[in-house]
Structure formats: structure tokens, C-alpha cells
């Protein structure tokens, strides 16, 4: 919900100020700032992946610009788990100040360490935490609790300050029979609730989903059927961080006598780290390299690939488009999409599915089989947590606005006062004092775009230009004038790209633009910018009236 307030007041002593810098309104770029008595603690630092409305953009960062001039106050960064939407922007933060202490679990920090190496960053300070760990950094006492999620080693964090205490769940669910035996620490949640919880910041992703999230183990029968029916090449696409899912595939591969081949740089990197740290159990003589794939028959191998979200350059997309240098998939082969659809990726995923089906591949996905379960708590689990913890104030996190609102309604249903169930978007300023959380202002927290090696160099106007170029094309017009004699020397020459391509379409407007330039010169125009505007207006009116189009118009006037 967009708050009308602006310019929050100066932070009072012994008051905790919470500002979401990302993740509230989008599923991605999760980050929050906690400030008390001049010290700042950050929780998570993730990225959002662009969609078709962000042409040319590689990544979208949280509102790091809101920390400009205040980075020296940051006493630490807490990472709840190792998914990209929670750790992907860490290099961009540490590039600004490398010595910020980073707290996280063993697996999370291992993934971050590799990411920092890729960005060639040094001098970073990574501090390993585990469930039950307690530490103090600045004015913040931190306690870490185990939570179950779709990646191992996820943690919730209990933040205690002089102004009050906060429990931030990170992403979590309450799988009662988890594959790794690591349960969400509900006893710890209850203990914190009994002590009195001032602010509960809760994962909202599945707040609209009734009941309880399906257990991870319940997808085993469907996966067994896929392996039993696969007579040719079998490709399993999943998130490159989903260690549990890869473990299930690995176990089925061994059972059915298939070797396993990882495809995709992030898949190879993450699963190598997970195996080295003991989170992934890889039986001996199971893994093979991509270069050795042709040494085995199709029915002897299962390929675990990236690309479950239809990313254009991913391994699966390249396979579907016959562009992969090694792997092909056709008649008699099977692809298993062992993942859910992230909102906004639907078109990309279905494009890949259609491409595979056109090639004769049988595609099994969540829509036609129970081959994936969510990593997030559904409404039944959230209700359970609210009743268990009984917080004074609630601030739903991680989700689109509809998820945040649904989560707040669950809190109200369990007895939280409606005014204490705070639904806000990124940039909202929430102050906690004397057990009461209030929205006191709002800061502009727009998208920060990464385009190649540049950060924040692309803005709304550049994206508008790219969208126009992509959807409407452009028209260029070049003319040469003599400003001293007031004559049109040459042109105008009008051409286009990505616009109507018929020969002679500019014949009429060329003469009209030329007449306009001559009139302007006779009237005393002595500036090339004025003459360019004449060209732009004439061409714009013509193309709008005749073609009802709005291409980008690029006029160039050369003065001699």
C-alpha cells in the first residue's frame, strides 16, 4: 500500500526504525534496514530478475541508494538463506564497503564467497552462524533459529534492541518430515512469543494458498513414475539452489541405473559446493562430465539442468531451440520441470515447453503432475505461527501486495489489532517504540538496474526508449543546411529500422519536411536544435495520422 507520508522525522533515541529496501511489492530483491541509536543492521541483500518490461537489464537491485552517506553506520548484514533473491546483491553492497560483517549459515556463506570471488572482491568479513547461535553486533543482539525451506541451512533471526525485539522469518515453511530432518524451530518461536514479541516479519509468498504446504517427500511417487516411464534421454530442470530436489533426482538416478550430468554453470557450482559441505550426498561413480555424455546411451543418463524459469540463455532454452552445443532432445525423450512458476515468468516457461513438445519431447511439470512443492508456508502454517507467537505488531514481507494483504488478514484473524498489522511497500519508514509500530514516512525506493558492468546508469527514460525501439522501431531524418545563407543544402534523407518497410513510404513526407525546414530558415531559425524539432514534429504528425504508430524519431541537422 503506497503511503502518502514523505520525509520521516528524525529518528528519536531508543527507537527502532525499519525500512524495507526491497521485497515488499515484488517477489525478489529482498532487503530490510534496521536502525537504532545511529547504528544500522541489514537483513538480506537480494536481486530481482527483470521481465519483458526491462529490456537489456541484467539484474534489479534493492534500494542501496538509500544507504548512501550512511554506510559507515552499518554494523552488519544478516543473510537468512542462499537464494539469489536474498544474496544476489551482496557483491554490489560490499563493493561500496567491503568490510561490512556478513552473518549467515555455512551453505549460505559458501555461496556468497563464490559470488564475491566472481566479482573479484577481497577483504570481506564472513561470519558463520548456525541454529542456536547468538552474537552481538553494535546495539543488536542476534539469535538464529532453524527454519525449513527449499534450500538447506535457512535461518530466521531474532533481533533484540533497546527499542524492542523483532523476529524475521526469512523464507520458511513447516515441513514436518523434511528430507534433511531439519525442522522449523517452533519451540524457539514459542519461547520468543512468551518473552513478548514486538514485531513479527513473516514470509507472505503463500499467504493466499489454503491449508498446509505439501511435504517434499510427497513428490517421490510422481518422480518415480517419471523415471520408470523414461525410455530415452531424461532431463530434469530445477532451481540451481534446490539441493533437496537434486538429491531426490540423484537417488532416483541411482535406483534406475542412470548416471547424473549437471548442465549450467550455476548448477555445477552450487551442487559442487553442496556436496563438498555435506548437504548433498553423491554416491560414488554417479556423476559424469558433460564432455563424457556421448559415451553413454540416452537411457543411461539423467541430465540435471538450469532453465526451469525459461531463461533465454539457460541450458534448457538452448536445448528447446536446438542451440545447445552438446545436448539435443527429441522424440522419445522426456523433460521434467521440477519447479514452480515465479510470477512474471509464465510466458517464458510456456515458450520453452512448447518448443520441447514441438520437438516430440514429453514434458512433465507441476501443471500435470505432483513434481514440485513450494518452499513457503501456506495460510494454515501462518495461522499456526501467529497463534504460537502472538506478536504485538506484524509486518508481512516477501511478496506482491496481494500476498502482503492476505498475510495481514491472517494475523488479524488470530487477534492482532488491525492497526498493528502493517502492510507497506518498499521505502516505507516504520518506527517501533514502546511496543507500538507506526508508519512515519516514506522514501523513494525505486529500482536500481544493472546493465552489463554499469549500475544505476539506466533509468526510466532509457527503458522507455528501449521499449519504443523494440515495439515501434525508429525513423531517422538527416538534413544539411547553411545557416548563414538560410538554405537547405541537402536532404532531408529519411530512413527507418523496425518500422513499415515498403519502398517509397517516405516520399510524401520527405517533401513536407523539406518545406518545413525552408520555412523555418526563412523565418530566421539559426539553431540546429530548432530545425531538428521542426523535422520531429512534421514526421511525428504524419506517422501518427497515417500509421497510428509512435516510433522513435531521430532528427539530425548538420550546419555548414
Across 292-435, where does the E strand assignment appear?
Answer: 301-305, 334-337, 362-364, 393-394, 428-433
Instruction: Express each pLDDT in 377-396 by its tens digit.
Output: 999 999 999 999 999 999 99
**Average pLDDT value for residue range 70-89:** 95
Spatial CA neighbour of 353 closest among 373, 374, 375, 368: 368
Alpha helix positions (H), 256-345: 265-276, 315-320
- Strands 59-61 and 39-43 turn out to be unpaired
Peptide bond into 492 cis (omega under 30): yes
pLDDT at position 5 is 57
pLDDT at position 454 is 63
SS3 call for 156? strand
Contact at 8 Å (CB) between 478 and 492? yes
CA–CA distance, 166 with 162 (Å, rounded to integer) = 11
* Cβ atoms within 10 Å of 68's Cβ, excluding its own: 8
β partners of residue 82: none
Alpha helix positions (H), 423-459: none
Place of cell 544493472: 450
Place of cell 495460510: 379
Alpha helix positions (H), 2-129: 84-87, 90-94, 106-118
Instruction: Express each pLDDT in 110-128 by its tens digit.
Output: 999 999 998 899 989 999 9
Q: Report residue 383 as a C-alpha cell.
A: 495461522
Q: Which of 195-199, 396-400, 465-469, 522-526 has the lowest mean pLDDT?
A: 465-469
Instruction: Express each pLDDT in 239-298 by its tens digit.
Output: 888 899 999 999 999 999 999 999 988 899 999 999 999 999 999 899 999 999 989 999
For the chain, list the domains and their CATH numbers.
Answer: 16-211+374-453 (3.60.15.10), 216-364 (3.40.50.10710), 460-559 (3.10.20.580)
In this structure, the chain runs to a length of 560
SS3 call for 122? coil
Instruction: Express each pLDDT in 423-467 by its tens digit.
Output: 999 999 999 999 999 999 999 888 877 766 667 655 566 656 556
pLDDT at position 54 is 62
Instruction: Express each pLDDT in 477-498 by its tens digit.
Output: 898 888 888 888 888 888 887 7
Q: Is the pLDDT of residue 468 over 90?
A: no
Instruction: Express each pLDDT in 285-339 by its tens digit.
Output: 999 999 999 899 999 999 999 888 777 778 888 888 888 888 888 888 999 988 8
**Average pLDDT value for residue range 399-404:** 94
Contact at 8 Å (CB) between 174 and 369? no
**DSSP states of 364-377:** E-TTTS-----SS-
Spatial CA neighbour of 142 closest among 129, 124, 126: 129
Name the pTM for this structure. Answer: 0.83
Element (H, E) at 544: helix 528-547
CA–CA distance, 440 with 460 (Å, rounded to integer) = 28
Amino acid at each position: 500500500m503506497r503511503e502518502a507520508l514523505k520525509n520521516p522525522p528524525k529518528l528519536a533515541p531508543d527507537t527502532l526504525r525499519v525500512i524495507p529496501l526491497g521485497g515488499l511489492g515484488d517477489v525478489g530483491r529482498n532487503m530490510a534496514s534496521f536502525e537504532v541509536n545511529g547504528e544500522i543492521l541489514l537483513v538480506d541483500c537480494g536481486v530481482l530478475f527483470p521481465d519483458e518490461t526491462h529490456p537489456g537489464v541484467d539484474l534489479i537491485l534493492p534500494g542501496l541508494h538509500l544507504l548512501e552517506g550512511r554506510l559507515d553506520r552499518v554494523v552488519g548484514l544478516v543473510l537468512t538463506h542462499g537464494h539469489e533473491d536474498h544474496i544476489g546483491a551482496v557483491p554490489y553492497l560490499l563493493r561500496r564497503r567491503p568490510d561490512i560483517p556478513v552473518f549467515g549459515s555455512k551453505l549460505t556463506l559458501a555461496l556468497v564467497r563464490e559470488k564475491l570471488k566472481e566479482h573479484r572482491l577481497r577483504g570481506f568479513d564472513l561470519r558463520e552462524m548456525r541454529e542456536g547461535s547468538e552474537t552481538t553486533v553494535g546495539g543488536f543482539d542476534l539469535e538464529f533459529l532453524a527454519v525449513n525451506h527449499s534450500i538447506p541451512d535457512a535461518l530466521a533471526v531474532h533481533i533484540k534492541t533497546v527499542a524492542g525485539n523483532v523476529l524475521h522469518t526469512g523464507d520458511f515453511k513447516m515441513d514436518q518430515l523434511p528430507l534433511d530432518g531439519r525442522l522449523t524451530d517452533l519451540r524457539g518461536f514459542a519461547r520468543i512469543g512468551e518473552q513478548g514479541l514486538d514485531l513479527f516479519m513473516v514470509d507472505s509468498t503463500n499467504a493466499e494458498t489454503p491449508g498446509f504446504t505439501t511435504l517434499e517427500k510427497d513428490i517421490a511417487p510422481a518422480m518415480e513414475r517419471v523415471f520408470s516411464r523414461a525410455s530415452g534421454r531424461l532431463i530434469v530442470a530445477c532451481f540451481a539452489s534446490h539441493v533437496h530436489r537434486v538429491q531426490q533426482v540423484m537417488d532416483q538416478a541411482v535406483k534406475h541405473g542412470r548416471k547424473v550430468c549437471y548442465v549450467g554453470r550455476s548448477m555445477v557450482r552450487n551442487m559442487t559446493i553442496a556436496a563438498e559441505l555435506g548437504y548433498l550426498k553423491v554416491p560414488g561413480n554417479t556423476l559424469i562430465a558433460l564432455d563424457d555424455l556421448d559415451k553413454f546411451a540416452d537411457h543411461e543418463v539423467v541430465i540435471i539442468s538450469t532453465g526451469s524459469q525459461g531463461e533465454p540463455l539457460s541450458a534448457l532454452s538452448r536445448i528447446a531451440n536446438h542451440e545447445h552445443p552438446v545436448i539435443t532432445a527429441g522424440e522419445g525423450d522426456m523433460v521434467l520441470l521440477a519447479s514452480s512458476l515465479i510470477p512474471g515468468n509464465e510466458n517464458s516457461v510456456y515458450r520453452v515447453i512448447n518448443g520441447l513438445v514441438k520437438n516430440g519431447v514429453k514434458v512433465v511439470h507441476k501443471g500435470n503432475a505432483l513434481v514440485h512443492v513450494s518452499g513457503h508456508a501456506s495460510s494454515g502454517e501462518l495461522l499456526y505461527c501467529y497463534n504460537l507467537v502472538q506478536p504485538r505488531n506484524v509486518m508481512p514481507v516477501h511478496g506482491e501486495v496481494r500476498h502482503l494483504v492476505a498475510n495481514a488478514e491472517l494475523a488479524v484473524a488470530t487477534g492482532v489489532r488491525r492497526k498493528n498489522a502493517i502492510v507497506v511497500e518498499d521505502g516505507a519508514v516504520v518506527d517501533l517504540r514502546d511496543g507500538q509500530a507506526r508508519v512515519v514516512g516514506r522514501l523513494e525506493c525505486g529500482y536500481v538496474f544493472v546493465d552489463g558492468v554499469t549500475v544505476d546508469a539506466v533509468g526510466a527514460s532509457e527503458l522507455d526508449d528501449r521499449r519504443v525501439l523494440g515495439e515501434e522501431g525508429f525513423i531517422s531524418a538527416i538534413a544539411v543546411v547553411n545557416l548563414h545563407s538560410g538554405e537547405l543544402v541537402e536532404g532531408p534523407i529519411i530512413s527507418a529500422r523496425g518500422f513499415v518497410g515498403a519502398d517509397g513510404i517516405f516520399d510524401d513526407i520527405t517533401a513536407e519536411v523539406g518545406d518545413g525546414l525552408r520555412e523555418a530558415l526563412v523565418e530566421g531559425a539559426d539553431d540546429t536544435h530548432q530545425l531538428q524539432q521542426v523535422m520531429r514534429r512534421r514526421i511525428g504528425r504524419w506517422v501518427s495520422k497515417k500509421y497510428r504508430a509512435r516510433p522513435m524519431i531521430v532528427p539530425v541537422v548538420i550546419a555548414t
